[in-house]
Structure 1
C-alpha cells in the first residue's frame, strides 16, 4: 500500500481528499500547514507528496523546494486555476506535476498513479551501454549521468526525460510525446510541465545539449 502525504489547510478539502485516496487503496497522512507537512515528511518518507500551493507558515512552492532538496519523492501540487505563475514556480522548485481546483477525485488519483509509475523502474527497452553526447555520458542501466566526468544528481523525472532523448539523439520529440512517455499522460495535458522539465534538465546537463525546435518540441544534440 502506497503512502500519500497530503498537505492542505482547508479542512473540508483535506478530509474529502483523504477519503477519496483511502477509497482507492492509499494510506494517507495529512497536515494543515507547510511546516507541519515538512516535519511529517521528514518523520516518515511517503511515496508521494500532494501539496496545496496556498499553505500557511510555509507555502506549497517553498515546501516542494525543501522536499526536493532532501528527496526524489514525487511531488504533486494542487493549484487554483487563476495562478499559472505559481504553478510554473512550483515546477521550477522541483514539483513533478499539478492539478487545478476544483478537481475530480479520479483525476487526482490518476495523476498520483502516473507519478508512482514514473518513479518505478522503467519497463521500456533501454540502451545497455554508456552513451556519450559531447561532455555528457549517460548509462541507462546504472542510471548514472556524468558531465566532464562529474556525477550529476537528477530527479526521476529528469532521468526519464534524458532517457527519452538519449534513445533518439537528433530526433525531434514533440511535447505531447514527452507528456505520454515521461509524465505518463494518455490524454492531452499542459505542456508547461514539459517545458519546465526540459529547463531543469538543461540546467544540469548544459543548456546547449537540448535544442528547442520552435512550435514542435525538443531534441538532444549528439
Structure 2
C-alpha cells in the first residue's frame, strides 16, 4: 500500500491536476469537493496526508480541519488564496501542519508533502528508545501514538514532535527557536510565536490542569521544559 493523499478542493480543474500529478509521483489519491465528503472519506480510508482548501462550500476548510483532528492525526496541508501572515497563523493554530498559498507549482506541493512525511516518519532507525513513559503519558515513537492512561490522544505531527523532544529530556530547557527548528525543519520557516500556539494546544490535550502547568513548564523569557518530576 502506498501513501494515501486526500485532496479536498471544490475547483474541479485544480483537483484533477493535483490528483493526476500526485498519482504520477506514486501516491494513492482520493478527492472530495466539500468538507462533509472529505470527513466521510477520511473515516473510511484513513489517508496519511490531507491537502485541504480553505474556501469550501457548506463547511469551511478551517472547520473541516478541526473535525479531521478529532478523527485522527493525518498530515494536513492547508491550501488557500489567503496570503496574510495572520491567515497563515490561524490555519496553523486550527491544526494544519503546513500552509500553501495559491497559485503554487505542483512540484512545490510535492516537496511540501515529502517534507511533511519526513516529519511523520514512523520508522526512524536512528532513534534508540521507541517508548517513553512520563507520569501517566505513554509515548510510542514508531507509531506516533500518545496515551494518557488508557485513553489515546490525537496529536498533530507537529504536536507529537514537540512533546517527544521535551519528554525525551525532562528538565532541559529549549528555546522557541530550537523547538521551531525541530518541529518544522529548515524547509518551513515561520514566526517563533507559532510555537506558543502549538504548545498551548498540546497542553490542552495532555494536561490535567487547565492552566497547563503539569507536564510542560514555561521558562519565562527563554522557552519551555518538560517537568523533571515526571521522569521515570
What's the TM-score once normalised by structure 1's chain length?
Answer: 0.79
Residue in 2 that maps onto 1:42:
43
Quick one: distance in 2 between partners of 1:139 and 1:7? 31
| Alignment partners' CA distance in 1, 2:152 and 2:40 | 28
Q: Distance in 1 between matches of 2:181 and 2:127?
A: 16
The answer to whether the 8 A contact 1:138-1:144 is kept is yes
CA contact (8 A) 1:213 1:219 kept: yes
> TM (normalized to structure 2)?
0.76
**Unmatched segments (≥5 aa) in structure 1:** none
Structure 1 runs (4+) greater than 6 angstroms displaced? none
**Paired residue total:** 217
Deviates more, 1:97-106 or 1:198-207: 97-106
Q: How does 1:1-222 map to 2 (within 5 A)?
A: 1-121=2-122, 123=124, 124-127=126-129, 130-132=132-134, 136-140=136-140, 143-146=145-148, 149=149, 151=151, 153-157=153-157, 158-183=159-184, 185-191=185-191, 193-206=194-207, 207-208=212-213, 209-213=215-219, 217-222=223-228
| C-alpha contact (below 8 Å) 1:2/1:27 kept by paired residues | yes
CA-CA distance at 1:131 after TM superposition: 4.3
- Choose 70-79 or 167-176, whichever is displaced more: 167-176
What's the CA shift for 1:121? 1.9
- 2:5 and 2:27 in contact (8 A); partners too: yes
CA gap 1:177/1:104 in 2 versus in 1, 3 angstroms: farther
Once superposed, what is the RMSD of the aligned Cα atoms?
A: 3.0
Structure 2 spans left out of the alignment, 5+ residues: none
Deviations 1:121-155 (A, max 9, x none): 252425467544xx554445695443xx5645142
CA deviation digits over 1:47-74, x for unaligned, max 9?
A: 2111001111111111111211112222
CA displacement, residues 95-140 of structure 1 (integer Å, 9 cap, x when unaligned): 33222222232332122123323333252425467544xx554445
